[in-house]
Structure 1
């Protein structure tokens, strides 16, 4: 195994709990890129939010997978593409979600730039929570399902685990629980974080065995199983740690930097 690529989950992995990238981690990843390693960030978040969280000097060196694998942004080539779209089946799903009690907050993403929602945002909250401007927001009645990438159902503190039983009624969609089932992300059935990583690596002529990946949440399990070296954060869920090849420190302590410096960068320097 000769590591050629580094794949990173975003929240509570690359990002600390305060939603910043540690200085040592930032410096180590930039150094890794300069030494020839391919950098990939894979997240459920949309591109507009990632831009507000990840420093530009790192983002411009990465390939970014957003919306649970639905959209890929190659900043090194100034190129982006959609892996698949939700289609008209999602129209029936949105209608059903709007009838739920207590009310569910619904966000429908198109590429990760513009979005539709049933939540009323003031301009300040819109900037803080969604990294968006008022002209980027539409009503759920105005969704273009032909380009829809992802739907997020947010129970606003309430469990939405019961929605997973709907999966059988929507065979073309994939229901992905998050935040202890208080949030359900819905993407095309053909899409997933690990699936998109695998397809992207094939385009790059990089074998999954030549990849190290870092993660902390249940959707990261398949990703860690896919690659040659799967690493769980110290703050990861027990199920993630169980499948990992290695468990490192807590996301607040720059453990990714420690791993890269000891296991990759110093070895490359001495080679």
Structure 2
């Protein structure tokens, strides 16, 4: 990992250019609001213009986020994607568990898993955590309300055992009174066999099917487009971006990313507040 400024275009291949641009949303395209687990809904003009240049040059732009499908389509609208009459956009949602085309929303691939044992194990250790599962296309079911702004769409209160009675694509565990470090340690202690997990900027734990990540979702998209990982430029800032940054031909961490995310990347661009994603995209488009 090194800074963007000092890294060669592509070692041994000065003519390389991205054919697919994979973009995280929160902390990459949108700024985090200090002290919360939410981001601003204001998109920087520089970032929007840079993404549009990439798209208009012919690169496939793929939004790739831990967000649920219903909360990603609005970001595509903010970016003005896709162009009128053009092919539908590819979107990788739910940390890779759901792949869809838009507009309209058309889920073309979904990975699910049985989360019951893992959730029961977590509740034994932390009985007061908040639990939510995606109600795909609509919103979430949760055991109690989450902090304001952290979940969008339709929100329904339901018993945990009912929420995980059937296979799900993702489970969210949240504790507003804990720290991310608490949850990192919790994941280590639990040894969630057969299930992958990732900790966010706050005490937020995403449970996903084993082997499913943004990288696996993007790999599915590349297969459909007859592209290789080497064709991909990926930009992200979170722990859920590590696999994507390692998998892509060029993985770029935001300057606001935790150390372990920066270490996984090929290069590090500027902070989201300084339009780091636009800076990286402007190297190519």
Normalising by structure 1, report the TM-score: 0.82
Give deviations 1:61-115, integer Å, cap 9, x for gaps: 342211111111211574213431113xx12333343444451111112435342
**Equivalent position of 2:174 in the other structure:** 154
**Equivalent position of 2:37 in the other structure:** none
Give deviations 1:177-229, integer Å, cap 9, x for gaps: 2226x222101113111122122212211111111111122332221221121
Q: CA deviation at 1:55?
A: 5.2
> Is the counterpart of residue 2 in structure 1 residue 8 in structure 2?
no
Unaligned runs of 5+ in 2: 1-15, 34-39, 83-88
CA distance in 1: counterparts of 2:159 and 2:81, whole angstroms: 32
Q: CA deviation at 1:243?
A: 3.3
1:50-61 mapped onto 2 (5 Å cutoff): 50-51=72-73, 54=75, 56-58=77-79, 60-61=81-82
Q: CA deviation at 1:171?
A: 3.0
| Structure number having the greater helix percentage | 1
Secondary structure of the structure 1 residue equivalent to 2:26? helix
Q: Contact conserved, 2:92 with 2:99, CA < 8 A, in 1?
A: yes
Secondary structure of the structure 2 residue equivalent to 1:130? coil
**Equivalent position of 1:258 in the other structure:** 279
Worse-superposed segment, 221-230 or 110-119: 110-119
Unaligned runs of 5+ in 1: 266-271
**Equivalent position of 2:30 in the other structure:** 15
Residue-pair matches, total: 253
Q: Contact conserved, 1:40 with 1:63, CA < 8 A, in 2?
A: yes
Structure 1 residues 157 and 227 mapped into 2: Cα distance closer, same or farther (>3 Å)? Answer: same
> Is the counterpart of residue 70 in structure 1 residue 91 in structure 2?
no
Q: CA deviation at 1:47?
A: 2.2
Equivalent of 1:37 in 53, 59, 78: 59
Q: Contact conserved, 2:28 with 2:235, CA < 8 A, in 1?
A: yes
1:24-173 mapped onto 2 (5 Å cutoff): 24-51=46-73, 54=75, 56-58=77-79, 60-61=81-82, 62-75=89-102, 78-87=105-114, 90-101=115-126, 103-111=128-136, 113-120=138-145, 125=148, 128-134=149-155, 138-143=158-163, 145-158=165-178, 159-160=182-183, 161-167=185-191, 170-173=192-195
Structure 1 residues 129 and 232 mapped into 2: Cα distance closer, same or farther (>3 Å)? Answer: closer
Normalising by structure 2, report the TM-score: 0.78
